[in-house]
C-alpha cells in the first residue's frame, strides 16, 4: 500500500470497526482499516438478535458489509496486525507486524477482547457453539434444553434468572465452594435450581456440541448446553501505551460519544462495553464515525 497518511485509522475490522468506516466513508474521510482477520466470534455458527441478519453467520455479515464498503473510495483495508503506536505532532503513528507505518489525525480502537478459556478439555471446542456467554445472542436456539450454568455467585445468579425464562432444566456448576448470599440461595431453592460444587474435569462433545460434563471425582452429568462466565483480556495493548484509561472490569473507558480519556482516540465494540452483541457493536461504531467526522469538520471549517 503506497498511501501512508490518513485522516482516521481504525484498528480492528469486525462489526464496530466496519460500522465506523461506513460512517466515515460516506463523509469522504480518508480512512484505513487495519485488521488481522481473527474476530472473537469466528467459531460461532450463527449470529442472532440483529435486524435483517438474524441467523446469518458472522462471516456472512462481515462479507456483506465489506462489499458495501468497497464502493467508498476513501476507505482502504490493510490485512495485518497493529503492534505498536505512538502520539506524534499531528496525531498518531501505527506500526504493523510487517513493519509498515501509517499515520492519522484520529485513531479508533475496535479491537475487541479475547476470552480466556479455562484449562478444561473440550471447553474451547464448544465455546460459542454449545457453551455460550449470552442468552440474548444464543438463548432462543438452546431453549427448553437441559442446561448448565458454569459460574458462581452473583454472576451465576444473574445468568440463571435470565435463562430460567428459556428452560426449566437448570443446574449451576460452581467448580468450587458455592459463593452466594443467603437471599440468593433462597431464591434458587424456590425455583428448584440445583447447585453442584464439584470441579469439572472435561467436557464431552461431538464437534462442539456438548453431551456431558465429567467431574474430577469421576461422576458424569448429561447436558445439552451450558452458559459460562469467563475472564477476558484486551486484544491490543496499544490503548494502554497511548494513555487510555480502563474501567474496573477491564474495558477501555469511553464516554457517550465513544471518546476515550486520551485526546483524539476513540474505542467501540466489545473492548469498551459489557454488552457484547453485533447490534451494539454496530451502534457504537456508527456513533464513533459520526463524532469523528464532526471533530474533523470543526478542526477544518
Domain boundary among 181, 199, 228: 228
Q: CA torsion, points 158, 210, 224, 61, in degrees to nearest 10?
A: 70
Identify whether residues 192 and 137 lie together within a single domain.
Answer: yes
Identify whether residues 208 and 242 lie together within a single domain.
Answer: no
pLDDT at 41: 67
Identify whether residues 276 and 238 lie together within a single domain.
Answer: yes
Identify whether residues 219 and 265 lie together within a single domain.
Answer: no
Identify whether residues 151 and 224 lie together within a single domain.
Answer: yes
Identify whether residues 265 and 221 lie together within a single domain.
Answer: no
**CATH number, residue 98:** 3.50.50.60
Identify whether residues 211 and 224 lie together within a single domain.
Answer: yes
> Given a cut of 80, is residue 1 above it in pLDDT?
no
Q: What is the mean pLDDT of residues 285-293?
A: 98
The larger pLDDT score, comparing residue 54 to residue 102, is at 102
Sign of the Cα pseudo-torsion (208, 209, 214, 215, in order)? positive
DSSP 8-class letter at 68 = H
For the ranges 3-17, 27-41, 59-73, 256-270, the lowest mean pLDDT is seen at: 27-41
pLDDT at 46: 81
The larger pLDDT score, comparing residue 85 to residue 41, is at 85
| Model pTM above 0.75 | yes
pLDDT in tens, 60-80: 999 999 999 999 999 999 999
Identify whether residues 211 and 293 lie together within a single domain.
Answer: no
Q: Which of 116, 115, 112, 88 shows the shortest CA–CA distance to 102?
A: 88
> Given a cut of 80, is residue 38 above it in pLDDT?
no
Q: pLDDT band for 39, please (50, 70, 90 cuts).
A: confident
Q: What is the mean pLDDT of residues 208-229?
A: 96
| Total number of domains in the chain | 2
* Residue 214 CA: distances (Å) to CA of 117, 174, 178, 211: 17, 14, 18, 10
Tell me how crowded residue 25 is: count the other CB atoms within 10 A of its CB. Answer: 21
Identify whether residues 110 and 248 lie together within a single domain.
Answer: yes
pLDDT in tens, 151-191: 999 999 999 999 999 999 999 999 989 999 999 999 999 99
pLDDT at 40: 67
- Provide the domain limits for residue 20: 5-115+231-300
Identify whether residues 248 and 222 lie together within a single domain.
Answer: no
Q: pLDDT band for 44, please (50, 70, 90 cuts).
A: confident
pLDDT at 238: 98
Q: What is the mean pLDDT of residues 30-43?
A: 84
> Given a cut of 90, is residue 272 above it in pLDDT?
yes
Domain boundary among 228, 246, 269: 228
In the block, which residue shows the cell 495493548?
237
Identify whether residues 102 and 153 lie together within a single domain.
Answer: no
Q: Which of 133, 158, 85 shows the shortest CA–CA distance to 270?
A: 133
Identify whether residues 110 and 159 lie together within a single domain.
Answer: no
The larger pLDDT score, comparing residue 57 to residue 182, is at 182
Q: Which of 136, 165, 163 shows the shortest CA–CA distance to 147?
A: 163
The 3 state secondary structure assigned to 109-167 is ECCCEEECCCCCECHHHHECCCEECCHHHHHHHHCCCCEEEECCHHHHHHHHHHHCCCC
> Given a cut of 70, is residue 132 above it in pLDDT?
yes
pLDDT at 245: 98
pLDDT in tens, 98-122: 999 999 999 999 999 999 999 999 9
Domain boundary among 175, 206, 228: 228
Amino acid at each position: 500500500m503506497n498511501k501512508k497518511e490518513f485522516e482516521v485509522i481504525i484498528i480492528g475490522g469486525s462489526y464496530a470497526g466496519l460500522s465506523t468506516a461506513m460512517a466515515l466513508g460516506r463523509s469522504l474521510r480518508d480512512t484505513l482499516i487495519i485488521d488481522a482477520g481473527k474476530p472473537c466470534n469466528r467459531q460461532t455458527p450463527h449470529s442472532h438478535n440483529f435486524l435483517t441478519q438474524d441467523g446469518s453467520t458472522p462471516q456472512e455479515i462481515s462479507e456483506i458489509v465489506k462489499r458495501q464498503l468497497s464502493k467508498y473510495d476513501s476507505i482502504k483495508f490493510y490485512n495485518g496486525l497493529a503492534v505498536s503506536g505512538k502520539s506524534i505532532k499531528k496525531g498518531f503513528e501505527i506500526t504493523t507486524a510487517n513493519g509498515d507505518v501509517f499515520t492519522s489525525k484520529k485513531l479508533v480502537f475496535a479491537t475487541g477482547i479475547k476470552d480466556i478459556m479455562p484449562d478444561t478439555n473440550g471447553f474451547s471446542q464448544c465455546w460459542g457453539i454449545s457453551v455460550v456467554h449470552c442468552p440474548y445472542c444464543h438463548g432462543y436456539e438452546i431453549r427448553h434444553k437441559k442446561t448448565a450454568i458454569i459460574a458462581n455467585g452473583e454472576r451465576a445468579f444473574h445468568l440463571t434468572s435470565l435463562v430460567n425464562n428459556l428452560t426449566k432444566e437448570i443446574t449451576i456448576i460452581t467448580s468450587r465452594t458455592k459463593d452466594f448470599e443467603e437471599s440468593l440461595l433462597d431464591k434458587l431453592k424456590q425455583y428448584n435450581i440445583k447447585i453442584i460444587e464439584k470441579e469439572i474435569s472435561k467436557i464431552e462433545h461431538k464437534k462442539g456440541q456438548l453431551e456431558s460434563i465429567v467431574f474430577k471425582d469421576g461422576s458424569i452429568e448429561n447436558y445439552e448446553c451450558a452458559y459460562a462466565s469467563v475472564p477476558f483480556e484486551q486484544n491490543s495493548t496499544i490503548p494502554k501505551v497511548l494513555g487510555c484509561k480502563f474501567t474496573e472490569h477491564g474495558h477501555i473507558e469511553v464516554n457517550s460519544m465513544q471518546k476515550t480519556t486520551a485526546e483524539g482516540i476513540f474505542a467501540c465494540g466489545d473492548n469498551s462495553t459489557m454488552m457484547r452483541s453485533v447490534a451494539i457493536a454496530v451502534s457504537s461504531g456508527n456513533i464513533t464515525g459520526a463524532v469523528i467526522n464532526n471533530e474533523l469538520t470543526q478542526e477544518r471549517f
